[in-house]
Amino acid sequence: MKRDVFVAISFLMAFLLISYAITVKDVLGMAENPLRPLGGFYLRHAFAPSNLTSHSPEVVTAIVWNYRGFDTLFETFVFFLSIMGALSIFRLTEEQEKEVRSLESREPHRHMDLITRATTKLVVIMIVSISASIALHGHLTPGGGFQGGSAMAVAALLLFAAFSKFTLERKGLTLRHVITAYAFGLALILATAIAPVFLYDGRLLQINLLPGETGLLNLDVGEYIAVTFGFLMVFLVLGISEWIFKVILRGEIE
Amino acid sequence: MNPLKRFSPGTFAAVLAVYLFYTGSVSKYDLITGFIVAIIVSFLIGHWLIENDLKLFSPKRWFYAALYGLRYFLVEETKTHIDVAKRIFTLKANPGIIRIPLDVESDYGKVLVANSITNTPGTVVIDISDDGKWLYVHWIDVSTLDEEEIKRKVIAYFEEYAKRIFD
């Protein structure tokens, strides 16, 4: 308890010191030069009629998916690789999946009480709707695909906590369907990245050649789907209880 | 299942409303994307959120809900706040856990009663029985052990309104 107070106070002091140094003492030299040339370039070009535009009033999304697009594309691939790594460690054949299901049905499982469940229903629906808004509005207002997808992952976690993995599977969110949806999201991202090359003779990821803001919207939606179902996939795999997993992987089942 | 029966207009309206509220604008783009999202969600989850859509679109229930909100936040909250403030200064408390029977049928009605109890100072709902018929409440002043009396003092008019709004 004493240590917590000490830590909290030292964080507060550090925060105050840093803000004092930056704003009053101006250690970073930001006062006389508030806008760097690079920042000025982004601000002038992101939503301009000229040739270097990304058709987006939201400069952050324009940087993330257009000016700095390769970085984000490779981030998506890293995410893909880590999920594939997780799936290949926790892989099960079809027969083993059947065994898991029969073992799980024998396990006692309960969900939380009525109040928690009813409230979670409401909250989950609100999160789904808000995360869709974050993702679909990513090229107009702050937000974007990854942010929307992370918000959606929270909805999945809440469902896991208040209901159970079986509720999701009964609703049709089995591992197979989730992988399909994830692949669809990735395919949308790849198609949008390649489209300028084939349709407009441009370069890879030169999405400002696409009409209007379609490029950014597609990438945001693709990333939203990929992140949502990527997280959900990992949750579903990790949701199998540990002893069942080990029993099946070691083949110690009669 | 018949896809048309699976579609839930109530869920559709709720999702669209939250979408537009969060987005904060009603341009053509927002309406179209919100419409698509709401259609997808309401077809995917069906009647999971709202079992009977007619209840959601009944103006009588909304009227009672508004009335309940006004009465609860203006009258009951003030009364219990004053009561608990008095107890803080006089140090008079007789805390204990009591069990209250619930008559309201629907899940959301039970949640409304339970959250109303928790939100008024002095009472906290600790648990609800698995069949949803009993509430376990921590009460700051256990003045009586008579079931009817407890119900009148702790639940007050919450259940009446919960029945009118949700049942």
* Domain parsing of chain A, residue ranges: 2-34, 68-249
User: CB-CB: which of A121, A122, A129 is closest to B19?
Assistant: A129
Alpha-carbon span B64 to A248, nearest angstrom? 55
What pLDDT score was predicted for residue A252? Answer: 59
Q: Which of A114, A178, A184, A232 to mutate to test the interface with B (most CBs of B within 10 A)?
A: A114
Whether chain A has a CB inside 8 Å of the CB on B23: the answer is yes
What pLDDT score was predicted for residue B62? Answer: 92
Is the distance from CB of B83 to CB of B138 less than 8 angstroms?
Answer: no
Q: Do A136 and B33 make contact, defined as CB atoms within 8 angstroms?
A: yes
Give me the mean pLDDT over the A217-235 stretch: 92
What pLDDT score was predicted for residue A173? Answer: 82
What pLDDT score was predicted for residue A134? Answer: 92
| In the predicted structure, residue A253 carries a pLDDT above the cut 70 | no
Residues of B in contact with A119 (CB under 8 A): 111
Residues of A in contact with B22 (CB under 8 A): 129-130, 133
What pLDDT score was predicted for residue B36? Answer: 93
Q: Do A125 and B38 make contact, defined as CB atoms within 8 angstroms?
A: no
Give me the mean pLDDT over the A103-107 stretch: 80
Is the distance from CB of B83 to CB of B122 less than 8 angstroms?
Answer: yes
Give me the mean pLDDT over the A190-198 stretch: 90
Instruction: Classify each residue of A11-41 as buried b or exposed e, where b means 16 or more C-beta atoms within 10 Å of its C-beta.
Output: eeeeeeeeeeeeeeeeeeeeeeeeeeeeeee
Give me the mean pLDDT over the B123-151 stretch: 88
CB neighbours (10 Å) of residue B134? 14
Give me the mean pLDDT over the A155-182 stretch: 87
User: CB-CB: which of A122, A133, A141 is closest to B19?
Assistant: A133
Q: Which two tokens stand for residue A5?
A: 């107070």
Compute CA distances A66 → A189, A203, A208, whole Å.
Answer: 13, 12, 8
Q: Does the ipTM surpass 0.90?
A: no
Alpha-carbon span A141 to A44, nearest angstrom? 17
Give this prediction's pTM.
Answer: 0.85
Give me the mean pLDDT over the B121-132 stretch: 89
pLDDT band at A158 (very low <50, low <70, confident <90, very high): very high
Residues of B in contact with A130 (CB under 8 A): 18-19, 22
- From B109's Cα to the closest Cα of chain A, the distance in A is 10
* pLDDT tens readout for residues B57-88: 889 999 999 999 999 999 989 999 999 999 99
| In the predicted structure, residue A10 carries a pLDDT above the cut 90 | yes
| In the predicted structure, residue A251 carries a pLDDT above the cut 80 | no
* pLDDT tens readout for residues A19-43: 999 888 888 777 777 788 888 888 8
